[in-house]
Amino acid sequence: MKPYHVIVNPNAGFLRNKRLDPGEPARILGDSDLVTVTQDLDHLGALVRRLCASGVRTVAVLGGDGTVLRVCSEFASAGAGLPTVFPIGGGTSNALLTELQLSARPVARLQRLAEVLSGAAPTAMERNTLRVNGRMGFSFAVGYLRNASAFYESHPVDGIWPLVVTLKLLKGLILRHPAILRFLDNVPATIHYDDTPLPLDGFNFAYLSTITQNGLKLNMTPSASGAADQFEALFATLTVGELLGAFSRMTLGGEMNAPRQERRLVRKVRIEPLAPIPWFMDGEHFEPANPIAVELGPKLRLLG
């Protein structure tokens, strides 16, 4: 086994929508032994254990943010620590590549990988991770952002559909459609930042992240990437008008701002809602939980 390997998620957005053939990585790299198209999570786990046993510590991942972090979690579970990752993109959510200012087009990234494997020097970077109830991630959300993400992923996402879905969501907010307004339902909860209780007794908008970009070009976390050993946590309670105004400002490059918000750089956050709440991290939606513990995870080494 060579000291690097390419892991392909056949359910990633580009492959699922037939914008990329699963055989393309092997064709571009000219070596099918370098590439494994995974079948399911059990197959991924078995593959990672085989790679660890063979001494592989650098992997290229064709898939979105969720796939990258799933691969890292499998390496950690195998007792090998985190691998060095060359992200290729091709998923529904590719915020990590946006954050690193790298192309999210998988063919371009595969061509870059071919150059690296031929001797070109890659750019090495590190990013903090989050650990949420034992799972690794970069960006975590509950409340409106989680609900909007679930709405988005329940619709087709190819071509102009992302824009159409966003317009449907905005139209529902502007016209005060009951189903969309429920996205803004307040979540009664006790929140602790680094063991200090927040003055908020609930929220409907929460976003915690170690990366500046969220893939939507909305400037939500301007401090996150510059925080050496912290992540940025934002909790807010917004009305419909405040939410629309905040998103308008962010789209134009401004910061997320609301009259009732708490936003800080922290090392850990604990959310204790009155009842279990669903949550979202890096393209994946998780079942309701109570409490939800978010802490700074290990650094991940990335290659560009």
pLDDT at residue 47, as a whole number: 94
pLDDT for res 215? 60
Q: Between these two residues, 45 and 222, which has the higher pLDDT value?
A: 45
CA angle, 150 then 156 then 157, to 5°: 85
Q: Cα separation of 91 and 171, whole Å?
A: 27
Does 213 have pLDDT greater than 80? no
Pseudo-torsion of CA 60, 64, 69, 72, nearest 10°? -10
Instruction: Kindly list the distances between the CA atom of residue 289 and the CA atoms of 126, 165, 269, 274, in Å, as whole numbers in the listed order.
Output: 30, 28, 14, 11
**Collapsed DSSP state (helix, strand, coil) of residue 35:** strand
Q: What is the dihedral of CA 269, 282, 131, 194, to 10 degrees?
A: -20
**Average pLDDT of every residue of the chain:** 88
Over residues 287-296, the mean pLDDT reads 96
Look at residue 226 in the predicted model and tell me its pLDDT.
64
* Residue-wise pLDDT tens digits, 229-244: 899 999 999 999 999 9
Q: Which residues contact 254 (CB under 8 A, 6 or more apart)?
A: 219
**What stretches of the chain adopt beta strand conformation (E)?**
4-8, 35-37, 58-62, 84-89, 124-132, 135-137, 139-143, 187-193, 196-197, 202-203, 205-209, 231-236, 261-266, 268-273, 277-281, 284-289, 292-303
> What span, in angstroms and rounded, lies between the C-alpha atoms of 189 and 202?
5
Which tokens sit at 245? Answer: 């105004």
Buried-state track 125-141, b at ≥16 Cβ within 10 A, e below 16? eebbbbbbeebbbbbbb
Q: What is the pLDDT of residues 270-281, one digit of tens each?
A: 999 999 999 998
Give the model's pLDDT for residue 1: 45
Which among 299, 293, 303 is positioned nearest to 72, based on CA atoms? 299
Is residue 91 within 8 A of residue 14, CB to CB? The reply is yes
pLDDT given at position 247: 83
Does pLDDT of 225 surpass 80? Answer: no
- pLDDT at residue 185 tops 50: yes
| pLDDT > 70: percent of the chain | 93
Q: What is the pLDDT of residue 38?
A: 94
Q: What's the pLDDT at 292?
A: 97
Omega of the bond leading into 188 within 30 degrees of 0 (cis) = no
CB 98 within 8 A of CB 215: yes
6 against 199, higher pLDDT:
6
| Cα 36 to Cα 76: distance, rounded to the nearest angstrom | 19
Percent of the chain with pLDDT over 90: 52
Average pLDDT over residues 285-293: 95
Say what the pLDDT of residue 158 is: 63
pLDDT tens per residue across span 101-157: 898 889 999 999 999 999 999 999 988 899 999 888 888 999 999 998 888 877 766
pLDDT at 4: 82
Which residues does 72 contact at the CB level (< 8 Å), separation at least 6?
Answer: 82, 83, 85, 129, 136, 300
Quick: pLDDT tens for 72-86: 989 988 888 889 999
